[in-house]
């Protein structure tokens, strides 16, 4: 089946357009799942790359250096045909844009005010996946998600947004000079927490959909919480399927806590001179911070320390968080980081345990990027004997949602090809 899809230039993907990073999962030519992530950050860019003999630019993963020109009817005005820095490469550029948090609440994704922030990384990620699959022209049945609440309100509008042809030209980086034509032939908007159950119960190996070990154990009566950057969504499953009346979302997401950490670090006395230098030269209060992107902060400061904890469970490793900014190097910010990681974990625990108390389920599973974010500072207590919650895979947790969208997409394509055979 995968061979047939590849022969027809059909690229099967699943996209989790998160508030901190976009995760994409796609099927390679062997019928196995590949994943990568791109920070949900963009910045305006020139139409040509700055020519410098930087051989290192071609020794990195292509998604780490994205300078692209995107032509799309999904955007408005001049943004329909414009050049962009995307993801990691956009993080310190002038005019950088990322999803906003207002009063602890994430703004709605793909809204009129922030469409480009989500559309550009979505199309760029598909283009990267296409070239990795050795394709320059792809037909894509798009499988992308929305939160429970947004799905109810905006499903049809989102479906109309992506239909049709889009073009991505790589202006710099390992794929420099390559061009990908993307034709979105079908759009399926998935409900994030509901569809995520597919990646818990199944995976795809060599083109075959197979049951996972954990899927065999949890049964049909369980709750699944997807701890995201903007929200947390909880889906409830019974023998009859999704329990719609109990499936819900909360506004607890990692972004609000990350923003507070970054602001407080910027105000440390050790960094005062660096901050003042930026402010007196025209930087705004929002720009005079050590990290202009949440994903950069998480990848450089949080993840390395948490991964050490997971890699050395028997050694009781204690994380230490250090930040360098300008000429001030290796400042210990552990107290600030831990304060907000603990606050996030406490808020999540309270919310999740309230949900568990109100439900009649045999198992409660936690996935999403928030699992790692709060794991060492309180969330891991939920996996103990008292509560017995299940963390399916800590290191791969961030890709469960995109993989589930991919699996749902693949099953739909299998059904279509059987009907049309």
Whether residue 376 lies inside any domain: the answer is no
What was the pLDDT predicted at 149?
66
Q: Please answer whether residues 181 and 167 qualify as being in contact, where contact means their C-beta atoms are separated by less than 8 angstroms.
A: yes
What was the pLDDT predicted at 59?
67
Domain count, the chain: 1
Whether residue 155 lies inside any domain: the answer is yes
Whether residue 89 lies inside any domain: the answer is yes
320-334 CB burial, b ≥16 within 10 A, e <16: ebebebeebeebebe
How much is the pTM? 0.85
What was the pLDDT predicted at 309?
86
Domain limits for position 197: 2-209+398-420
Whether residue 216 lies inside any domain: the answer is no
Residue 98 CB neighbours (<10 A) = 21
Whether residue 229 lies inside any domain: the answer is no
What was the pLDDT predicted at 417?
67
What was the pLDDT predicted at 387?
92
**Nearest one of 72, 17, 63 to 40, comparing CA atoms:** 17
What was the pLDDT predicted at 418?
62
* CATH assignment at residue 142: 3.30.420.40
What was the pLDDT predicted at 106?
65
| Helix (H) / strand (E) containing 273 | helix 272-280
What was the pLDDT predicted at 154?
66
What was the pLDDT predicted at 205?
95
Whether residue 406 lies inside any domain: the answer is yes
Whether residue 364 lies inside any domain: the answer is no
What was the pLDDT predicted at 369?
87
What was the pLDDT predicted at 358?
92
What was the pLDDT predicted at 264?
98
Whether residue 168 lies inside any domain: the answer is yes
Q: Flag residues of the chain having pLDDT under 50.
A: 55, 421
């Amino acid at each position: 089946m995968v061979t047939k899809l590849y022969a027809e230039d059909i690229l099967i993907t699943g996209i989790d357009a998160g508030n901190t990073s976009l995760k994409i999962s796609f099927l390679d030519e062997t019928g196995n799942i590949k994943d990568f992530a791109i920070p949900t950050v963009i910045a305006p860019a020139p139409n040509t790359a700055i020519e410098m003999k930087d051989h290192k630019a071609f020794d990195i993963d292509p998604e780490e250096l994205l300078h692209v020109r995107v032509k799309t009817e999904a955007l408005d005005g001049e943004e329909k045909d414009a050049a962009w820095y995307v993801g990691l490469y956009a993080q310190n550029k002038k005019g950088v844009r990322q999803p906003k948090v207002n009063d602890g609440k994430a703004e709605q994704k793909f809204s009129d005010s922030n469409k480009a922030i989500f559309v550009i990384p979505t199309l760029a990620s598909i283009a990267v996946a296409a070239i990795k699959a050795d394709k320059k022209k792809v037909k894509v049945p798009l499988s992308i998600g929305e939160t429970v609440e947004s799905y109810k309100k905006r499903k049809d509008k989102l479906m109309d947004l992506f239909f049709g042809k889009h073009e991505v030209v790589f202006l710099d980086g390992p794929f420099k000079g390559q061009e990908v034509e993307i034709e979105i032939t079908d759009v399926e908007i998935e409900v994030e927490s509901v569809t995520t159950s597919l990646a818990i119960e199944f995976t795809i190996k060599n083109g075959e959909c197979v049951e996972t070990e954990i899927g065999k154990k949890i049964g049909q009566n369980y709750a699944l919480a997807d701890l995201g950057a903007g929200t947390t969504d909880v889906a409830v499953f019974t023998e009859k399927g999704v329990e719609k009346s109990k499936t819900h979302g909360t506004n607890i997401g990692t972004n609000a806590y990350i923003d507070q950490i970054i602001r407080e670090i910027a105000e440390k006395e050790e960094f005062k001179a660096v901050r003042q230098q930026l402010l007196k030269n025209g930087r705004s209060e929002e720009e005079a911070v050590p990290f202009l992107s949440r994903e950069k902060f998480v990848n450089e400061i949080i993840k390395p320390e948490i991964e050490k904890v997971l890699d050395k469970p028997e050694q009781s490793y204690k994380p230490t968080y250090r930040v360098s900014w300008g000429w001030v190097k290796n400042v210990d910010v552990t107290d600030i980081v831990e304060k907000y990681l603990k606050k996030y974990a406490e808020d999540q625990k309270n919310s999740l345990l309230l949900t568990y108390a109100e439900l009649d389920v045999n198992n409660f599973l936690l996935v999403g990027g928030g699992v790692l974010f709060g794991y060492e500072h309180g969330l891991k207590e939920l996996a103990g004997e008292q509560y017995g919650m299940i963390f399916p895979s800590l290191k791969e947790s961030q890709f469960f949602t995109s993989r589930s969208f991919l699996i749902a997409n693949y099953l739909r394509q299998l059904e279509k090809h059987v009907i049309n055979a």
